[in-house]
A and B are shown apart, each in its own frame.
Chain A
């Protein structure tokens, strides 16, 4: 079950030594340079996309990642064909990315805090959500509820996987139900929206998180900019749908640059976990001296136990 995190995935594109021009400042950046800076331009701060495995390596404490539901694969339920069959596109995506699907899920520790982490990868068929992504999200939520770990979802998606037709649309309903189960538990759920997060993923679990964090410059919109331009027949403002615009319109909680993401994430989770701890052992019950709860000492111990997952202490250390 445990899988080692590897960032040395063979890719057809982007072989080592390739230099890339930064869309933000046009500076030429070497692959090694980009890798060193978590795929952020050291010159202007432009955030390049980050693969799912690289994201896990960045967020999870070294050696703590254990993947769940890794063996799930698309079944091509519609026998979908366009210019090429869906099954062939899947094979190619697997080969190009080294991933089995557009989302990986697992448990890990983040600054010593036990967490369920799901990460989407845009390079796997545009990070589209089909049956496997929906089922992986459900199992991740199940795991979070069972172990009382918070769930963190790093999103990157063009929307629903149209090659799975109506089944992909229904993954929006499915993941929504999973979010509701987490809020009944309750376990904290934080989403991290990265460039781009659009369509069905944005219109389901991604925007249902307790706290929504975005990376700078990420495109976050339900409809794609081109679709909107075609509809309204005029060109869009430069900042259309960007994280910064979403923040000012009240759609997300905060924008956090990649190099600060892990620390900020753990602070937010810690705050929410502190609340969960109090909800499990409410102070007022202790004061009312309700029978059968083991007295004030046991109550206090319970709180401490639930708070053990809160990481702000480890941040100080």
Chain B
């Protein structure tokens, strides 16, 4: 226990070991992780509407939550796709300053999540598969958003997705930031583009809390394990999608082509399953999420 002298020594050794790890070996790995984060947030990276432009000609956008407002940080609508109708829903960031402001930097408010729920239920009613694209720093932290039930809007969206009878495919296309991202991610298949990230907290906020210094974001990024390959290792996603040479920002059409093929692939597999069976598998998958120790064994 901490009052014993031996443990103080252990503490010191641990601290020095960590410092060494921080200074030496880990620097290169660190750089690679940070490069990914910069790519995931790249200003030229294709956003949801770019993918829609390349993948779904004839997309019809549907607006509003029928309660309060239309949140431009989440877009959604219907599209004809490979011989069927599909419901497309995704976070939307803005390309220029005006668009960024209008879309609130892709940070949804409760009405965004309620619009998503409305569109998902509409899809479910007519047997239309749901395709979501995830790309947000997180749900918007604001007083009015809280008053309108930000937490409840996110949890209700998760529950809505758990209950859908239709197939759901989600792709993390850029920033998968926290609960605001996960809200569109309770899917039968969760795919992740190579240079996207998926994290419980931004490295900057994590560093501010644990290191008391947001300047240590590089260290936080490394230990959070938020890159596509690291997330895949933790069995949180189903597949990593490779990006065009140099990253998706260099070739929007190429990136959209890759996403389109993966979507078609996964949809076909999911559509071959009985809805009941599909939902069972969805629940079984999320039931397995997590790693813990039990009776001396580490369980996935």
Contact = CB atoms under 8 A, between A and B. Distances in A.
A262 to B, nearest CB: 26
B21 A167 contact: no
A165 B146 contact: no
A174 B286 contact: yes
Contact of B289 (A171, A202, A240, A245): A171
A170 B182 contact: yes
B224 A222 contact: no
Nearest to A197: B151
A237 B143 CA distance: 9
Interface residues of A, number: 68
Nearest to B10: A88
A206 B151 CA distance: 9
Interface in A219-243: 220-223, 227-228, 231-232, 236-237, 240-241
A12 to B, nearest CB: 8
A124 B163 CA distance: 33
Chain B contact patch, size range: 35 or more
Contact of A169 (B1, B141, B149, B182): B182
Given A95-B2, A232-B143, A251-B152, A85 B14 contact: yes
Interface string B90-104: 000000000000000
Contact of B152 (A168, A198, A200, A207): A207
Contacts of A92: 2
Contacts of A228: 141-143, 146
A82 to B, nearest CB: 4
A221 B159 contact: no
B192 to A, nearest CB: 11
Given A75-B298, A82-B223, A95-B2, A207 B234 contact: no
A70 B145 CA distance: 37
B182 A208 contact: no
Interface stretch (B203-211, B239-247, B258-266): B203-211
Interface stretch (B34-42, B46-54, B194-202): B194-202
Contacts of A72: 292-294
A131 B225 contact: no
B88 interface: no
B291 interface: yes
Contacts of A81: 18, 21, 223
A174 B290 contact: yes
A249 interface: yes
B154 A135 contact: no
A180 B163 contact: yes
Interface string B9-35: 001001100100100000000000000
A293 interface: no
Contacts of B209: 162
Nearest to B14: A85
Contacts of A71: 294-295
A200 B180 CA distance: 10
A165 B226 contact: yes
B289 A167 contact: yes
A149 interface: no
Nearest to A132: B292
B179 A200 contact: yes
A176 interface: yes
B133 interface: no
Contacts of A174: 286-287, 289-290
Nearest to A179: B159
A236 B141 CA distance: 12
Q: Most chain-A CB neighbours within 10 Å: which of B2, B182, B236?
A: B182
Contact of B14 (A88, A168, A203, A206): A88
Nearest to B113: A203
B130 interface: no
B139 interface: yes
Interface string A161-185: 0101111111111101111110000
26 contacts: A71-B294, A81-B18, A83-B210, A83-B211, A131-B291, A132-B290, A160-B178, A160-B201, A162-B200, A165-B225, A166-B236, A167-B290, A167-B291, A169-B199, A174-B289, A176-B155, A176-B162, A202-B155, A203-B152, A204-B155, A206-B151, A222-B179, A223-B139, A223-B142, A228-B146, A240-B146
Of all A-B residue pairs in the complex, the 5 with the closest CB atoms, nearest first, are A131-B290, A223-B141, A82-B210, A77-B291, A222-B151
Given A176-B159, A205-B155, 4 more contacts: A167-B289, A173-B186, A198-B151, A251-B149
